[in-house]
Amino acid sequence: MTLIKKYIPLAICFLVGLMTLASYYVPNKTSENYLEVMNKWENIVAGFAFLLGLFSLFFSHYNKIRRKVDGWGYSLFVFVGFLVMVVPALMSHGKQMDGTSLTGLGWGYRFMFNALSGTMFSVLAFYIVSTAYRAFRIKSAQAGVLFAAALVLIIGKVPLGQLMWDKLLGWTHLGVTQIVQWLMDVPVVAGRRGIMMGLAVGGIVTALKIIFGIERQYMGKD
Amino acid sequence: MKNFLEKLLKIDRRLIFLALAILLVFPIVKPLGLPNLNLGSEVKSLYERIEGLPPRSFVLMSLDYDPATRPELHPQAVAILRHAFRKNLRVGILTLNAGATGLIEEIGERIPKDIAPEKVYGKDYVILPYQPNPVAVMTQMGMDLYQIYDKDRDGSPIRDMEVFKGIKNVKDMQLGICITGTAMLDYWIAYTGDKFKFPMAGGVTAVSQMGYAPYLQTGQLKGLVGGMKGAADYETLINHKEKGTSGIDALSLAHLMVIILIVTANIMMLWLKYL
Amino acid sequence: MSETMLIFGGWVAAGLTIFLFSFLYKDNPFFKVTEHLYLGAGMGWVFQTVLFQTWKPKVWEPLQAGDWTVLIPTVLGLSLVTQFFPRISWISRYGFTFIMGYGSGLVIPLTISTDLLKQIGGTIAPFMVSEISRANIGSLINGSIVAIGFICVLFYFFFSVEHKGVVKKASNIGIYFLMLYFGAAFGNTVMGRFSLLYGRFDDLYKYSAPKYFYATHVILAALVIYFVVDHFRKKKPEIEEEAA
């Protein structure tokens, strides 16, 4: 049983990983055909991966309703929201437009999903401002550098800031746009490139560990 | 004085929220009309690249954003699309983000209405369906795109469409533009840009704009439009002002507020500490 | 779609937006309902997109045309769901290992090329003979700053040796470069979030028009009334207690 439960999956990972890796360095008709099949198959497999999220969400809220935990009534709205999108989609066969007019699905996207998703993420703006006031304290030289970079960038990017800079510091003949551009072209490149390279090395090592079966946490417990 | 400053530092955050809301709503109700003065050089690079493409060149646009980043990225997509059509380029629109399909539908609705009414679907542009697993799609786009996209979003076969004449993979296309609020542009750079020598440009949120500076320096990215300011820059360049430009007033006021709040809070803190 | 449905849509969009914003004042049932609706609607949207744009054209239609090979990735994909049933969860390993092996195989060469070699190339490019012969001093100075900064940042992330002496100095310089990057990123983050908020307010303004029968105004006023009533309703027991 260990063979089926553990070794065959690991062998699949090893084989697929190694052949995909080799197909990059050995570009010929066979490797191209192999990659084409893999691309098509992976495309389909990934189409089922979201079911993990769907089942997880449904199980969690179904259990809340079943056990009648505090606020279980709200969980019903998860299913309502789901049906509000899926039922019109089934009725219109996934079409959002019927000629020049919106179908129920298109209506749901434009007036519901758009508003819900957009607002959920925009709320962060309020917290950024409040946190900037309450927690952004320049207590060290490093924090000072961080603030100076943020300040120059904010001033340089919006017209009101540019107008203020020209009024107050115009005599220096130093344009804020040039400073922002230099900031982006030089120190930001250096800082970001360092992080990027660290991530790249980490990514390559992890990928190798996965192919060789050293890293197998994603497989769950034995 | 000390008590007053301490109270001020611990002010109810809902008052700050209210101030921000008022500051953002004010220019919507009464626009200030501030000029968009300095245009980003990376935005100009993209504009010039599109400007320099021969007519009927093929531009691939991967619109990978959803309503969560719509105010920043949708104006970018509309402005770039308007420019491409104005230059008589062929455009292929696709998405690798399920949440984007509704926004692409809006674009599909707007093209015949106001973006480019003279353009014909299937001849000048095409909209492809959503596909999961971006990496597989991108890798396949470099070999034979019809193996992964054989139909458009309405289920019509694409191989014989005039818009795809002479196109087998990204090597036959002249420019790729990925507009995204996620890391999708990184994938496009690696899996098609670098691998198949496909010129890539991007449109990203302001949050992630800085992260692409190294790619611009190495030339892996041919141009970059960042956030609503980038959209406003592009609208200025094509001389067609829309949602990107109209947001600049509100952004100006709100940013001024952030700077004032940070500086004031730090002065108060120093006062309490040393005076 | 009729005009009535579009106006109703305006009311729904304005309502959902305001209900989500209401959390900024305090947690309330309207927010909670809307929050849960968001979870369900988001999942519903992805489900229908995958159903009609992947499963139907990539699995169902090929099967009807007699292409049985699509069953292999379909079974691998479906195997992922066994994750939720402990007794047979090992089956999901087949799907996972297939995805992980393919992803790992692709990521290695491309990361080496895109994020390692090209970045090293970009760092040394300003010092190539062709560049130096142009005698562009500005480019050389900037190139040197990028190179020094980049190496110092790498030292900061290099934990295999103890940070003391030259290594400590280099890593300290690296921190300043990181701070400049984070500072610039923070400035841009602020800008990004405001843009999103502006987008929502712009929509609310649209729905406040007479065409939408002042949807924004009405819903906002109703919510304020709710909070006022709720405030006094919750205070009532205290007053009764005091009276007693």
Percentage of residues in chain C with pLDDT exceeding 70? 95
Distance from CA of C137 to the nearest CA of A (A): 14
Chain C residue numbers with beta carbons less than 8 Å from the beta carbon of A116 are 16, 20, 34, 37-38, 41-42
Give the C-alpha separation, C77 to C171, whole Å.
46
Sign of CA dihedral A159, A160, A161, A167: positive
Per DSSP, the three-state class of B92 is strand
Q: Count CB-CB contacts under 10 A for residue C116.
A: 16
Burial label for B141, CB within 10 Å (0-12, 13-18, 19+), is: buried
Q: B8, B263, C181, B273: which is closest to A138 by C-alpha?
A: B263
Per DSSP, the three-state class of B150 is coil
Mean pLDDT of B130-157: 92
CA angle (C83, C85, C90) in 5-degree steps:
55
Give the contacts of B118 (CB within 8 A, at least 6 positions apart). none
Decide: B53 and B87 in contact? Cβ < 8 Å: yes
Nearest to A187 among C58, C110, C181 (CB): C181
Predicted confidence (pLDDT) per residue in C79-114, tens digit:
999 999 989 999 999 999 999 999 999 999 999 999
By DSSP bridging, strand B125-130 and strand B90-95 are parallel
What's the alpha-carbon Rg for chain A, to the nearest Å?
Answer: 27
Instruction: Tell whether C219 is within 8 A of chain A (Cβ).
Output: no
Decide: B246 and B31 in contact? Cβ < 8 Å: yes
Percentage of residues in chain A with pLDDT exceeding 70? 100
* Structure token pair of residue B261: 């709040």
Chain A residue numbers with beta carbons less than 8 Å from the beta carbon of B36 are 159
Chain B residue numbers with beta carbons less than 8 Å from the beta carbon of C115 are 190
CA atoms within 13 A on the CB side of B180: 23
First to last CA, chain A: 11
* Structure token pair of residue C154: 């790498």
Higher pLDDT, C33 or A99: C33
Instruction: Tell whether C21 is within 8 A of chain A (Cβ).
Output: yes
In whole angstroms, what separates CA B60 from the centre of its chain?
A: 14
Instruction: Tell whether B23 is within 8 A of chain C (Cβ).
Output: no
Mean pLDDT of B48-73: 96
pLDDT confidence of residue C236 = 62
- Long-range pairs for C163-172: beta carbons < 8 A, 24 or more residues apart: none
Does the structure show a pLDDT above 70 at A156? yes
pLDDT confidence of residue B255 = 87
Q: Tell me, what's the ipTM? A: 0.89
Q: Which residues of C make CB contacts under 8 Å with B?
A: 24-25, 42, 45-46, 49-50, 53-54, 57, 102-103, 106, 110-111, 113-115, 118-119, 121-122, 125, 146, 181, 184-185, 188-202, 205
Give the C-alpha separation, C122 to C120, whole Å.
5
Decide: A54 and C43 in contact? Cβ < 8 Å: yes
User: Chain-wide mean pLDDT for chain B?
Assistant: 93
Mean pLDDT of B224-246: 93
User: Chain-wide mean pLDDT for chain A?
Assistant: 92
Model confidence at A192, pLDDT cuts 50, 70, 90, reads: very high
Q: At what angle do helices A187-211 and C166-206 cross, to 10 degrees?
A: 100
Mean pLDDT of C12-36: 97
Q: C21, B66, B102, C40: which is closest to A120 by C-alpha?
A: C21
Sign of CA dihedral A194, A197, A203, A205: negative
CA angle (B188, B44, B236) in 5-degree steps:
115
Higher pLDDT, C51 or C239: C51
Pairwise CB contact (< 8 Å): B229 & A157: yes
Burial label for B196, CB within 10 Å (0-12, 13-18, 19+), is: middle
Q: At what angle do helices A141-157 and A176-185 cross, to 10 degrees?
A: 120
Instruction: Tell whether B152 is within 8 A of chain C (Cβ).
Output: no
Does the structure show a pLDDT above 90 at C32? yes
Measure Cα distances from C221 to C11, C19, C26, C33, C215 in Å: 14, 12, 16, 19, 10
Instruction: Tell whether B25 is within 8 A of chain A (Cβ).
Output: no
Give the C-alpha separation, B186 to B135, whole Å.
11
User: Chain-wide mean pLDDT for chain C?
Assistant: 91
Q: Count CB-CB contacts under 10 A for residue C238.
A: 9
Per DSSP, the three-state class of A221 is coil
Name which of A113, A184, A195, A204 to mutate to probe chain B: the one with the most chain B Cβ atoms within 10 A of its Cβ: A184
**How many residues in chain C?**
244
Mean pLDDT of A131-149: 91
Model confidence at C234, pLDDT cuts 50, 70, 90, reads: confident
Model confidence at A218, pLDDT cuts 50, 70, 90, reads: confident
Q: Which chains touch B (3 or more CB pairs under 8 A)?
A: A, C
Does the structure show a pLDDT above 80 at A219? yes
Predicted confidence (pLDDT) per residue in B62-112, tens digit:
999 999 999 999 999 999 999 999 999 999 999 999 999 999 999 999 999
Does the structure show a pLDDT above 70 at C243? no
pLDDT confidence of residue C93 = 95
Q: Count CB-CB contacts under 10 A for residue C125.
A: 16
Tokens 């749901």 correspond to: A108
Give the C-alpha separation, C161 to C168, whole Å.
10
Beta bridge partners of residue B130, listed in sequence order = B95
Q: C179, C180, A148, C150: which is closest to B217 by C-alpha?
A: C150
CA atoms within 13 A on the CB side of B52: 9
Give the C-alpha separation, C56 to A171, whole Å.
66
pLDDT confidence of residue C215 = 97
pLDDT confidence of residue C239 = 52
Burial B35-49 (b: 16+ CB within 10 A, else e): ebebbbebbebbbeb
H-run or E-run covering C193:
helix C166-206
Mean pLDDT of C116-123: 94
Pairwise CB contact (< 8 Å): C194 & B24: yes
pLDDT confidence of residue C237 = 59
Does the structure show a pLDDT above 50 at C214? yes
- Least confident range from B243-247, C132-136, C152-156, C202-206: namely C132-136
Nearest to B132 among A43, A132, A158 (CB): A43
Nearest to C197 among A59, A122, A207 (CB): A122
Pairwise CB contact (< 8 Å): A201 & C116: yes
Distance from CA of A77 to the nearest CA of B (A): 20
Give the C-alpha separation, C102 to C95, whole Å.
11
Phi, then psi, of B111 in degrees rounded to 5: -55, -55
Measure Cα distances from A43 to A19, B70, B224, C85, C234 in Å: 18, 26, 28, 25, 55
DSSP code of B62?
Answer: E
Chain C residue numbers with beta carbons less than 8 Å from the beta carbon of A121 are 196
- Give the pTM: 0.91
Chain B residue numbers with beta carbons less than 8 Å from the beta carbon of C49 are 98, 101, 130
Does the structure show a pLDDT above 80 at B23? yes
Measure Cα distances from C69 to B136, C51, C62, C66 in Å: 18, 19, 9, 9
pLDDT confidence of residue C135 = 66
User: Edge-to-edge strands of the sheet including B58-64?
Assistant: B125-130, B90-95, B58-64, B175-180, B200-204, B221-226
Model confidence at C244, pLDDT cuts 50, 70, 90, reads: very low
H-run or E-run covering B183:
none
Predicted confidence (pLDDT) per residue in C45-62, tens digit:
999 999 999 999 999 999
pLDDT confidence of residue B275 = 75
pLDDT confidence of residue B49 = 97
Chain A residue numbers with beta carbons less than 8 Å from the beta carbon of C23 are 123
* Structure token pair of residue B176: 């790729």
Predicted confidence (pLDDT) per residue in A9-56, tens digit:
999 999 999 999 999 888 888 998 999 999 999 999 999 999 999 999
Nearest to A128 among C41, C190, C199 (CB): C190
Per DSSP, the three-state class of B238 is coil
**Domains of chain B in sequence order:** 2-30+263-274 (no CATH), 41-241 (3.40.50)
pLDDT confidence of residue C242 = 46
Decide: A162 and C88 in contact? Cβ < 8 Å: no
Tokens 């080799």 correspond to: A22
Pairwise CB contact (< 8 Å): A130 & B257: no
Instruction: Tell whether B183 is within 8 A of chain C (Cβ).
Output: no
Pairwise CB contact (< 8 Å): A190 & C150: yes
